[in-house]
Chains A and B, each alone.
Chain A
Amino acid sequence: MPYCPKCGVELEHTVKNCPLCAFPMPKINDDANQPVYENKFPQPENIYFENLLKIKNQVFFTLSILIFSAVLVLMTIRSFFRVIPPAITYSIISVISGWFYISILFGYIRSKYYSTLSLGFITLCLTYGLDHVDGKLTWFYSYALPITILAVLVLLLLLYLYNRSRLKNQFVFVPAHLCISISLFSAALECILDFQANRKIHLSWSLIVFIVLMSIALILISLYYKLPDRIKEKIKRTLHI
C-alpha cells in the first residue's frame, strides 16, 4: 500500500498525488503482472453544464419558435398592403436582429472577443437595415457606423483589460473599469455627435462624466492597492483631529 511520506496516511494505488498535500506519489512497480486497482469513484462528470445546456437549449428553442412565428405573422400582414408601411419592415428587421442578439447572449459563441465582434456586426446590420427602409442611407454612415465601432472597441478594450489585469477582485475591477470605459466612450461619443452636428468639436457634458467617473475609478483602484505608507502618513498628519 502506498503511503504519503509527508502526511503519513495510507493512500489508494490509483492516486498520483497525495489528496491532502499534493505530494507526488512515486510509481513503485511497473510489473505487468501487478493486480489492476480500480478507483472507488467513477470518473465524475459535471452535472451542472449538462443541465444548464439542456435548459438553455429549451429556452432558446422556445424563443426561436416565438420569433419565427412573429416574423411569419409580420410577413403575412406585409403581403396584404400594396404600399408597405415602414413600421412593419422596421419590426421584421428588429425581430430578426433580436434573434441573433439572443443567440449571442446565450453564449453559443464561446470566445468573448468574437461575441463582442458579432454583437457589433449585428448592430451594424440592424442599423443599416433600419436606415435603408426608405431606400436611402441618411444617418448610418455619419452616426451608427462610428458609434457602433467605438462601442465595440471600448468593449474589446474592457475585455482585454479584464483578462490581463492583476485586479482579480470583481467588486473593484468591474465598477472601476466600467467607469473608465463609460468616461472614454462618452467623450468619444460627444466628439462624434458634435462633429456631425456642427463640424467642430467642443466637449461639454462628457467632460463632467469623464471627471466624475474617472475619479470614482481612481479611488476604487487606489483603495484596492492601498495607499503607500508615505501618503497615508501625510493624510493622517494633515487631517488629524
Chain B
Amino acid sequence: MRQHTKNWYKLDNAGKLYPSITSTRVSTVFRVSATLYEEVDPTLLQTALNNIIERFPYYKVNLKRGLFWYYFEYTENSPLVEKETFYPCMFMLYKRKKSFPFRVLYYDKKISVEISHSITDGTGVVIFLKSLLVEYFRLLDNDLSLDEKNGIFFPHEPIDQEEAEDAFHKYYQKNIPDPPKLNKAFHFPFKLNSKGEYHIITGIIPAKPLLAAAKEHHASLTQYLLALYFDAIQEYIHIHKIKVRHPVVMNLPVNLRNLYPSKTMRNFFISITPQIDFRLGTYSIHEMIDYIQSYMKIAVTPKNISQYIHKNVKNEKSLFIRLTPLFIKNLLMPVLYNKYAERNYTSSISNLGLISMPKSIEHLIERFEFYPPPSRGNIIKVGVVSYKDKLYISFGSLTKNTEIEKIFFRKIRKMNIPVKIETNRE
C-alpha cells in the first residue's frame, strides 16, 4: 500500500508565489546535475526514476487550479526521462494536465534534475538527485553496497510525514514585527537575450586554495565568494564609469533546516540581503568581508529569520489575500513580485554547499553543478556547489554580456588559483 496519506498538497508558503509569476524569462526552474564518468543509460535511468519516485510522493504531483490557490495533486502517472535539447532551466508548462513540476534530463554523461521552485528548494532537489543516482548505480551494479546513508532516500523505506510539511507555518510566530523594508537596488545595464535563451558559465576551481584564502580573512567560503562578487561588481562600475543611483543588494538564500529542526522536503529557505552602497566610496575586500561577516552574524539568527517567516506567512494568512480569486492573484503577483522582490536585488548567490556521496559511489561521479533559475529582474545569478575537492561556480545569465563573469574569474586567477571555464555559449 502506498505511504502517502493525502492525495493533494497545498503549495508551501514560498512555493505559492511561483506558479503565478512564471513566464518565459522568469521560469522559476533551477537545475542540479551530476556528471558521471560513463555515458548515461536512459533505460536504466527511467527504471531508477520509476523506482525512486514513489519515495517522493510530494514530487509525483500535477499542479491544479483551485478557486483561490493552486494546489498539487498526486498522480498515478510516472515522469519520463528526456534527452537534454533545450537551454537549461527553461520554463515548464506544468500548469498543463499531466505535466510534472520537474524534469529528469540526460545528455552524454550528465544527469540533470530541473525543478520548479514551487515544489522545493535546493536541499530537496539535492536529496532527490542523490537518491536517483544511488538507485541508478544500484541497478547498474547489483553488488553495490552502501557504507553510509549521506542523506539518501531509498525506494521502499517508510516516508516521514514531516517531509511534506510546510515548515514556514510550523515555525511561524504571530505577534512579532516585520523585517525592515528594502529599497530599489542597482541593476546591471545589460541588454536581454532573446526569449528562450539562458547562458551558463561555470568556473571549476580547486576548493582547497579558495578555502585557504577565505580562512586567511577568517571568513566562510560563502562569505568570501560573496565579497569577491561584490568586488567584481564594484570593479565593473569603476571601469565603465557607471552612475550608481542605488546600493548593490545581494539575495542570499539561507537554508532554514540548519536553524530549525525540520525534515521538510519542500521549500524552507529565506533570502537575506547583504548590501553595499558604492556611492559611499571604494571598498577594499577586507572592508567587504568585515561587513558581510557582521551582517550575517546579525541576519542568520532564529530571531531575525523569524521576522521574515512572520512576514511571509502573515501575508498568506491574510483573509483578503486568501479570498482574492486565483486569476486576480495571477494578474497581480508578477507586478508585486517585481516591486517587492526582484527590483530590490541586484543579483543572487546561492551556495548548496558540499555534496557528499557514499564512498562506494563517489568515484563514479565526476561532479555536481547547480544552475540558478533565470529571472528578468536579476539577469545574472550565481549558483555554487562543491563536490570532492572542487568548487563549481555557475553564472546563469539572460544577457550576452560577460563582463561580470570575466572580472570575477580573473580575480580568482590573480590569486594564482587555477580556473577552468565551461559554457553553453556558442
- List residues of chain A with CB under 8 Å of any chain B CB: 1, 4, 7-12, 15, 18-22, 38, 40-42, 44-49, 51
Known interface pairs A9-B409, A9-B413, A40-B110. Does A47 touch B90 (Cβ–Cβ under 8 Å)? yes
Q: Are A41 and B424 in contact (CB under 8 A)?
A: yes
Q: Are A44 and B424 in contact (CB under 8 A)?
A: yes
Instruction: Tell me if B108 is interfacial: C-beta within 8 Å of chain A.
Output: yes
18 A-B pairs in the complex with CB atoms less than 8 angstroms apart:
A9-B421, A10-B421, A11-B420, A19-B201, A19-B402, A19-B423, A20-B402, A22-B402, A40-B35, A40-B424, A42-B85, A42-B107, A44-B85, A45-B85, A46-B194, A46-B196, A47-B91, A47-B196
Point out the residues of chain B lying under 8 angstroms from A9, CB to CB.
203, 409-410, 413, 419-421
Give A15 to B426 CA distance when docked, in angstroms: 8
Q: Which residue of the partner chain A has the closest CB to B422?
A: A40
Q: Are B422 and A7 in contact (CB under 8 A)?
A: no
Q: Out of B107, B195, B402, B406, which one reaches A48, CB within 8 Å?
A: B195
Give A4 to B409 CA distance when docked, in angstroms: 12
Give A8 to B203 CA distance when docked, in angstroms: 12
Instruction: Tell me if B24 is interfacial: C-beta within 8 Å of chain A.
Output: yes
- Restricting to B383-426, which residues have a CB under 8 Å from any CB of A? 402, 405-406, 409-410, 413, 418-425
Interface string of B190-205 (1 = CB under 8 A from A): 0000111100110100
* Distance from A46 Cβ to chain B, minimum over Cβ atoms (Å): 4
Give A8 to B423 CA distance when docked, in angstroms: 16
* Distance from B238 Cβ to chain A, minimum over Cβ atoms (Å): 18
Q: Which residue of the partner chain B has the closest CB to A18?
A: B421
Chain A interface, DSSP helix/strand/loop, else mixed: loop
- List residues of chain B with CB under 8 Å of any chain A CB: 24, 35, 83-87, 90-91, 93, 107-108, 110, 194-197, 200-201, 203, 402, 405-406, 409-410, 413, 418-425
Point out the residues of chain B lying under 8 angstroms from A19, CB to CB.
201, 402, 405, 421, 423, 425
Point out the residues of chain A lying under 8 angstroms from B108, CB to CB.
38, 40
- 10 closest residue pairs by CB, A with B: A48-B196, A46-B196, A41-B424, A19-B423, A20-B406, A10-B420, A47-B86, A8-B413, A48-B195, A9-B419
A10-B418, A21-B406, A46-B87 are known contacts; what are 12 more A-B pairs with Cβ within 8 Å?
Answer: A8-B410, A8-B419, A15-B423, A19-B201, A21-B402, A40-B110, A41-B200, A44-B87, A44-B197, A44-B424, A47-B90, A51-B93
Total A-B Cβ pairs within 8 A: 83
Point out the residues of chain A lying under 8 angstroms from B409, CB to CB.
7, 9, 20
Point out the residues of chain B lying under 8 angstroms from A51, CB to CB.
93
* Distance from B161 Cβ to chain A, minimum over Cβ atoms (Å): 37
Q: Are B424 and A11 in contact (CB under 8 A)?
A: no
Give A79 to B405 CA distance when docked, in angstroms: 71
Q: Which residue of the partner chain A has the closest CB to B400?
A: A22
Point out the residues of chain A lying under 8 angstroms from B35, CB to CB.
40
Q: Which residue of the partner chain A has the closest CB to B402?
A: A20
Q: Are B24 and A48 in contact (CB under 8 A)?
A: yes
Give A15 to B24 CA distance when docked, in angstroms: 28
Known interface pairs A7-B406, A7-B410, A9-B409. Does A49 touch B421 (Cβ–Cβ under 8 Å)? no
Give A42 to B33 CA distance when docked, in angstroms: 14
Point out the residues of chain B lying under 8 angstroms from A4, CB to CB.
421
Point out the residues of chain B lying under 8 angstroms from A10, CB to CB.
418-421
Q: Which residue of the partner chain A has the closest CB to B201?
A: A19
Give A227 to B197 CA distance when docked, in angstroms: 38
Interface centre among A4, A40, A45 (most CB of B within 10 A): A40
* Distance from B385 Cβ to chain A, minimum over Cβ atoms (Å): 16
Give A1 to B422 CA distance when docked, in angstroms: 13
Q: Are B196 and A42 in contact (CB under 8 A)?
A: no
* Distance from B107 Cβ to chain A, minimum over Cβ atoms (Å): 5
Point out the residues of chain A lying under 8 angstroms from B90, CB to CB.
47-48
Point out the residues of chain A lying under 8 angstroms from B24, CB to CB.
48
Point out the residues of chain A lying under 8 angstroms from B194, CB to CB.
46, 48
* Distance from A96 Cβ to chain B, minimum over Cβ atoms (Å): 33
Q: Which residue of the partner chain B has the closest CB to A49?
A: B196
Point out the residues of chain B lying under 8 angstroms from A20, CB to CB.
201, 402, 405-406, 409-410, 421
